[in-house]
Structure 1
C-alpha cells in the first residue's frame, strides 16, 4: 500500500494500492481534489504533486492540453490522468 497526503485538505492521508489513480483515491476517501468530468477534458482536477513526483506515471496527452511544460516541471498534473506507484503529497 502507498500513502497519499492531500495537503489542501488538512493533510488528510489515505492508503491505496500501488498504481492507483489519484482522482479515484480522492473520491473514495474524500481527499477533496476538485473535479467535474473525471475524464481529462475539463482540467478542473489540476493538482500539484509536492513530494513524490517520481512516483507518478508518465504524462498523458490529455494533460498536455491543459498543462504546459513549465507547469509539468513544477509538478502540476491532472488527477484523473495520474496513477501513482509510491507515496505522494498533493495540493491544489
Structure 2
C-alpha cells in the first residue's frame, strides 16, 4: 500500500500501489482541485513536497502543459501521476495553478 499525504487538507490517503493521485483524491475526499482529468487544463497541478522517487515517469501531457522548468521544481499534474509505492506528500498553490492554466500548451519532442 502507498500513502498520499495532502498538506492543504491535512488528509492522509492509504491507496493501492501504482494508483493515480487524482482518482484517489476523488475517491477518498482528498480535495485535489480538478476539472478535466486529461492533462489539458492544469487545474490539478500539485507540488510534490516529498517522495518524488515514489512516482511514475513524467508523461508527455505534463511536459506540454507544465513545462520542463516547473517539472524540475517538483510540480506534476495529479491526473497524470501515479504513486508507485511507499509515501508522497503534496500540496497545491492557487496562484501557481493559475499561471499554468494560462500557459499555452508547448510542443514537446518525445
TM category, shorter: over 0.9
1:3 corresponds to: 3
Structure with the greater alpha carbon radius of gyration: 2
Aligned residues: 91
Q: If the length of structure 1 is used for normalisation, what is the TM-score? A: 0.94
Q: Which runs of 4+ in 1 moved over 2 A?
A: none
Q: 1:65, 1:75 → 2: CA distance?
A: 15
5+ residue gaps in structure 2?
A: 93-110
Indicate the residue corresponding to 1:50 in structure 2.
Answer: 49
In the alignment, structure 1 segments of 5+ residues that lack a partner are none
Q: Higher relative CO (CA 8 A, sep ≥ 6), structure 1 or 2? A: 1
CA shift at 1:85, angstroms?
1.2
Question: Displacement, 1:43?
Answer: 1.0
RMSD: 0.8
Rounded to whole Å, the distance in 1 between the matches of 2:52 and 2:30 is: 18
Structure 2 length normalisation: TM-score?
0.80
